[in-house]
Amino acid sequence: MKSVFAVLAIAPIAVFADAIADNYPVAENVRGHENTEWSISYAYHLTDAKKSLPRVLLVGDSICQGYQGKVRAKLEGKANVTYWASSYCVTSPGYLRLLAFYLDEAKYDVIHFNNGLHSCETPVADYAKAYRAAIRLIKKKQPKAKLVWASSTPLNATDSRVGKVAALNAAARRAAESVGDVAENDLYSLADPLDRAAYWVDTHHYTDAGYELLASQVVEKVVAACAK
């Protein structure tokens, strides 16, 4: 009897573990690690009177970290903005687990999603497959949320990374289109014509004026998605 009970007790745990493995597979780390990996998140107004406002989740990297404060300020009194910014490539083992954690934090009306500038060492085919899995996870976890895919911003550089960012954006766009019902925020096309000396502070990051332009377009896309 004890052995039967032990089997019955262990079985649900095994099934649960299998489900986690199926839903969030740990793939080969095709990009490898950066010297320092990081992750930053803030979820605002989870319990106070403002919690009745529409809730927006921004997902991205340090560019998202740069514009999120301006987005929050522009949407003050209109929407609550949560963000998760990290260095992890969408192909990194555990990325979907991290994404799932933040998707479970609250119910969102709009999710603005980007991953790419930390992926320049990632094969495009692997990136596309992982990007599609991430979009499907978002839709599974937040089926009522409007999803906006954002292209990665251009670089202040002239080497091969410039073409790689464009290739990754094209792969991400195809992944979003293959899943369907995903709006687009083309931040790459917005920023690419800008004067690098005037709007960039280094290879990746922007001046305050640059982040202001990015934030304004993010807000425009988020408001449009909320209206739907």
Q: What is the mean pLDDT of residues 108-113?
A: 98
| Structural domains of the chain, count | 1
How high is the pLDDT of residue 25?
52
Give the predicted TM-score (pTM) of the model.
Answer: 0.87
Among 23-32, 72-81, 127-136, name the one with the lowest average pLDDT. Answer: 23-32
84 confidence band (pLDDT: 50, 70, 90): very high
Helices (H), 79-123: 95-103
Give the range of the structural domain holding residue 46, as residue numbers without chain letter. Answer: 40-227
| Domain membership flag for residue 123 | yes
Give tens-digit pLDDT for 5-30: 444 443 443 333 334 345 545 456 77
| Domain membership flag for residue 96 | yes
32 confidence band (pLDDT: 50, 70, 90): low
| Domain membership flag for residue 6 | no
Give tens-digit pLDDT for 164-208: 999 999 999 999 999 999 999 999 999 999 999 999 999 999 999
| Domain membership flag for residue 145 | yes
The CATH number for 108's domain is: 3.40.50.1110
How far is the C-alpha of 180 from the C-alpha of 173, rounded, in Å?
A: 10
| Domain membership flag for residue 155 | yes
Averaged confidence pLDDT in the chain: 89
How high is the pLDDT of residue 170?
98
| Domain membership flag for residue 5 | no
Residue that has been written with the tokens 């987005």 in this structure: 71
Residue that has been written with the tokens 């490898």 in this structure: 32
How high is the pLDDT of residue 161?
92
| Domain membership flag for residue 127 | yes
| Domain membership flag for residue 30 | no
Task: Report the number of secondary-structure helices (H) and strands (E) in the chain.
Answer: 8, 6
Q: What is the mean pLDDT of residues 129-136?
A: 95
